[in-house]
């Protein structure tokens, strides 16, 4: 009974509420890399303007577990005019490259299917970073560990949805049982196809063994910066899905205990 999220980009407005709601719930600071010292000022000031449409946070990081992409598709005459938005995060893959690459089993899958980094177990070896085909997992110099979306591990284990899905003003991000979400996604896709959006597609049914966080895109996945054929390292070695899932339940309990202890460590908090 895996939990996951369906991200319907066709109704995303690019408002970034998901980015902030994620930081709010998970106590993540503004990304230190986005701020710098300026003369005569006792605090840091943001300087991360990019000029890339309305995207100034650019990528997922140890403090940005969500990131909204902005894709402007306009021809010279503006007869074709489209602005696509897509909120990206960890996909909680069934074939999770990070999980398998972790030499100390710091990365575990819980009983709800989410892939979770145990902060007190992580040794900061960074093996998981290249193992993720999506560039999701990030290292923090402050904590010496890696960080990523937990699928709001605490919330989902208390009967709540993820913070981002809850905040999303248009329902573009929905949380639930993956099987139910797939039904919802199929219906939405059929409707869009019926309306003539031929390029609309679902991303995440087959990629990386199936993604628990999957997407409805209005154009090819690569347009949204997602690999069209993601390669997870272990796919080259063996089919480890069964092993991973079987071990998940065992690991889950340990994960929860560890989570509690995480309260002692506040190293990753950065005072801006």
Partner 1 sequence: MIMGSNMAECHPVAFRWPLKAKTDHGAVLMHVDPRFTRTSALCDIHVPIRAGTDILFLGAIINHVITSRRWNTDPFFKEYVVNYTNAATLVNPDFKDTEDLNGIYSGLSSDGKAYANESWSYQRGPKPTPAVTEAKTFTDLLLERVPGRPKTDPTLKNPHTVFQIIRKHYHRYTPEMVEKVCGCPKKKFLKVAETLLNNSGRDKTSNITYAVGWTQHTVGVQIIRTAAMLQALLGNIGRPGGGVLALRGHATIQGSTDIATLYQSLPGYLNMPDARKNTETFKDYILTEAVPLSTSYWGNFPKFAVSYFKAQYGDAATKENDYGYDYHPKITADHSHLPMFVHMSEGQIKGFFVMGQNPGVGGQNARFQRKALAKLDWMVVRDFYETETSAFWKNSPEIRSGELKSADIKTEVFFLPAAAVAEMEGTFTNTQRLIQQHEKSTDPPGDARSDLWFTYHLGKRLRKLYASSTKDHDWAIKNLYWNYEPEPSEVADYRIKDEPSAYKVLKEINGYTWEDKKPLPTFANLKEDGSTVSGAWIYTGVISEEGVNNARRRRGDNWISPNWGFAWPANRHIMYNRASADLAGKPWSKKKKLVYWDPKAGTWVAPSGDGIDFLPTKAPGSRGKDNGIGFDWLSGNDPFIMRPDGKSWLFAPFGIVDGPMPAHYEPYESPVANLVYRQQANPVAKTWFIEGNPYHKVADPRYPIVISTYRVTEHHLSGTMSRWLPWLAELMPELFCEISPELAAEKGIKNADYMTIETARGEIQARALVTRRMQPFTINGKTVHEVGLPWHWGWQARAEGDVVNNLSVLVADPNVTIHEGKVFTCNVRAGKRGGAA
Partner 2 sequence: MKVDRRQFIKISAGAVGTAVIAEAEAFGADTGHIQEEAQKVPIKTGRQVPSVCPYCAVGCGQIVTVDDHGKIIDIQGNPDSPISQGTLCPKGAATYQLVNNDLRITKVRYRAPGSDHWEDKSLDWAMDRVAELTRKTRDANFHEFQDMPDGKGGTVKKRVMNTYAIASLGGATMNNEWNYAHQKLFHALGVVYLENQARI
Interface residues with partner 2 (CB under 8 A)?
15-17, 19-21, 24-25, 27, 29, 43, 153-155, 157-161, 163, 166-169, 171, 256, 259-260, 262-264, 266, 269, 271-272
215 lies in the site for partner 1, by CB under 8 A: no
Within 116-175, which residues bind partner 1 (CB under 8 A)? 169-171
- Of the candidates 20, 5, 10, 2, the residue with the CA atom closest to the CA atom of residue 197: 10
Q: Is 19 in the site for partner 1 (CB under 8 A)?
A: yes
Among partner 2, partner 1, none, partner that 85 touches (CB below 5 to 8 angstroms by kind): partner 1
Count of Cβ atoms closer than 10 Å to residue 241 Cβ: 18
Span interacting with partner 1, options 14-22, 126-134, 142-150, 200-208, rule CB under 8 A: 14-22
Q: What is the DSSP string of 260-271?
A: HHGGG--TT---
CB of residue 189 to partner 1, shortest distance in Å? 13
User: Which among partner 2, partner 1, none contacts residue 208 (Cβ within 5 to 8 A by kind)?
Assistant: none
**Residue 262's binding partner, choosing from partner 2, partner 1, none, with beta-carbon cut-off 5 to 8 A by kind?**
partner 2
The dihedrals phi and psi of 265, each to the nearest 5 degrees, come to -95, 125
- For the chain, what is the largest distance between any 2 Cα atoms, rounded to a whole number of angstroms? 59
Instruction: Closer to partner 1 by CB, 31 or 268: give it.
Output: 31
Closest distance between partner 2 and the C-beta of residue 175, in Å?
9
Distance of alpha carbon 122 from alpha carbon 99, whole angstroms: 11
CA distances in angstroms from 145 to 12, 137, 140, 156, listed in the order given: 32, 10, 6, 23
Closer residue to partner 2 in complex, CB, 15/223: 15
Please check whether residue 200 is in contact with residue 187, taking contact to mean a CB–CB distance below 8 angstroms.
no
- Phi/psi for 207 (5° steps) reads -60, 140
CB of 272 to partner 1, least distance (A): 5
195 class by beta-carbon count within 10 Å (0-12 exposed, 13-18 middle, 19+ buried): exposed
How do beta strands 213-217 and 3-8 pair?
parallel
Q: Which of 15, 121, 254, 256 binds partner 1 (CB under 8 A)?
A: 15
Please count the other Cβ atoms lying within 10 Å of the Cβ belonging to residue 180. Answer: 13
Q: Which does 135 bind (CB under 5 to 8 A by kind): partner 1, partner 2, none?
A: none
Phi, psi of 190 (to 5 degrees): -60, -40
- Residue from 39, 78, 194, 242 in contact with partner 1 (CB under 8 A): 78
Binding site for partner 1 (CB under 8 A): 11, 13-17, 19-20, 23-24, 29-31, 34-35, 38, 40, 43-51, 53-54, 56-57, 72, 74-76, 78, 81-85, 169-171, 272
């Amino acid at each position: 009974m895996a939990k996951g999220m369906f991200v319907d980009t066709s109704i995303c407005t690019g408002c970034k509420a998901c980015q902030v709601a994620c930081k709010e719930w998970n106590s993540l600071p503004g990304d230190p890399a986005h701020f710098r010292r300026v003369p005569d000022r006792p605090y840091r000031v943001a300087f991360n303007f990019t000029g890339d449409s309305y995207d100034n946070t650019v990528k997922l990081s140890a403090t940005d577990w969500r990131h909204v992409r902005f894709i402007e598709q306009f021809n010279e005459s503006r007869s074709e005019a489209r602005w696509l938005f897509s909120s990206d995060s960890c996909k909680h893959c069934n074939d999770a490259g990070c999980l398998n690459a972790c030499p100390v089993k710091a990365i575990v899958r819980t009983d709800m299917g989410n892939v979770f980094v145990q902060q007190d177990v992580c040794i900061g070896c960074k093996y998981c970073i290249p193992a993720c085909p999506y560039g999701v997992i990030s290292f923090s110099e402050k904590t010496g560990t890696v960080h990523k979306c937990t699928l709001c591990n605490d919330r989902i284990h208390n009967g709540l949805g993820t913070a981002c899905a809850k905040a999303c003003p248009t329902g573009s991000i929905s949380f639930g049982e993956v099987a139910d979400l797939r039904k919802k996604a199929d219906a939405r896709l059929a409707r869009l196809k019926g309306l003539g959006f031929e390029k609309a597609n679902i991303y995440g049914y087959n990629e990386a063994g199936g993604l628990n966080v999957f997407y409805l895109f209005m154009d090819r996945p690569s347009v949204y910066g997602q690999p069209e054929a993601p390669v997870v390292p272990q796919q080259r070695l063996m089919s480890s899905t069964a092993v991973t899932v079987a071990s998940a339940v065992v690991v889950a309990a340990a994960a929860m205990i560890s989570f509690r202890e995480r309260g002692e460590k506040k190293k990753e908090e950065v005072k801006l």
